[in-house]
Amino acid sequence: MVGLSEPDDAVVWRLDDERTLIVTTDFFTPVVDDAYDYGAIAAANSLSDIYAMGGKPFLALNIAALPPNLPPEISGEIMRGGAEKAKEAGVIVAGGHTIQDTEPKYGLVCLGFAHPARVLSKSAARPGDTLILSKPLGFGVTTTALKSQKASPENIKEVITWMKRLNRDAAILAGEFGVRAATDITGFSLLGHAWEMAAASGVGLRLAWEKIPFVGGARKYASDFSFPGGAFDNRLYFGKYVRFVNEIEEWEELLLFDPQTSGGLLLAVPSERVGAMLSRAQEMGQALWAIGEVVAGGGIEVW
């Protein structure tokens, strides 16, 4: 059903009239210092693509590349972090594969199920939909500040908490309120992944700068230009599809091109269901932010 043409978040294979199989994989180098947190973040990030497609994950395999001189207790903590995050998601980790490499890399192959009528994709956004985000931004600039020892412990704790958070509840809400279009915000940044949704759906997106949430400290680190290289790459590639209507600082623009690790879901929600969905999210303790709307046309405008 999905995966051989449009740039979606996972492959979707119809098994029968009641089930589709969703398959995806992701892995990356450490973004934080603590091995357990790294493993948990990598697992949450890998599982996110299943949620972004409207699925429920059930099985995973480890993928790891580890230096031969890495102490076993560190490798064990990485695996424990991944296993416990998978358990939280109701997922069995059934082994996997490990090779040697000079820098640690870890992630998961993930499998999930979804009903064919409830599969989410980037190509189903329609004019009039409201754009909802399930996590704040600023993960990339904050973890880059960590690497240069500029980030405060409070800011690092906050961003780790968000990166470890599953997108499960946001996906449950999407299914409950009949959402059809979604993607998760990761390495291509909010604007990069939003443009993929706009292009796949044949629509335009209008984002409100003042409504976009950021983790504490992100603006400070951004004003110091503590961005990862990927932010500049994202601006170089996706910038031609974005128009900034109101003048803002360069570092503020770059915050919207900031690569995210285990970021939130971007949902295109039918406008008549937004109020009820936000109320239900509040009852569940799930943060959601309305940051813009889907419009006719193409490209992205930031107001």
Full DSSP string of 150-195? -S-HHHHHHHHHHHHS-SHHHHHHHHHTT--EEEE--TTHHHHHHH
Q: Residue 40 burial (CB < 10 Å; 0-12/13-18/19+)?
A: buried
Mean of the per-residue pLDDT values for the chain?
96
**How confident is the model over 216-262, as pLDDT tens digits?**
999 999 999 999 999 999 999 999 999 999 999 999 999 999 999 99
Residue 250 tokens read as: 């360069």
**How confident is the model over 243-256, as pLDDT tens digits?**
999 999 999 999 99
**How confident is the model over 70-126, as pLDDT tens digits?**
999 999 999 999 999 999 999 999 999 999 999 999 999 999 999 999 999 999 999
Q: Are 132 and 213 in contact (CB under 8 A)?
A: no
SS3 74: helix
Q: What is the edge-to-edge ordering of all strands in the sheet holding 289-295?
A: 181-184, 265-269, 130-133, 289-295, 204-207, 300-302, 242-244
Residues in Cβ contact with 216 at an 8 Å cutoff, skipping those fewer than 6 apart: 154, 155, 158
Beta-strand ranges (E) seen in the chain are 11-14, 20-28, 56-66, 92-100, 105-114, 130-133, 181-184, 204-207, 242-244, 265-269, 289-295, 300-302
CA 18 to chain centre: 27
Q: What is the mean pLDDT of residues 162-171?
A: 98
pLDDT at residue 3, as a whole number: 75
Among residues 89, 273, 274, 291, which one has the least CA distance to residue 197?
291
Among residues 32, 14, 36, 35, which one has the least CA distance to residue 23?
14
pLDDT at residue 248, as a whole number: 95
**How confident is the model over 120-162, as pLDDT tens digits?**
999 999 999 999 999 999 999 999 999 999 999 999 999 999 9
CA dist 148 and 243 (Å) reads 32
CA dist 75 and 95 (Å) reads 14
All domains of the chain in start order, with CATH: 11-118 (3.30.1330.10), 122-302 (3.90.650.10)
pLDDT at residue 72, as a whole number: 95
Q: Are 111 and 58 in contact (CB under 8 A)?
A: yes
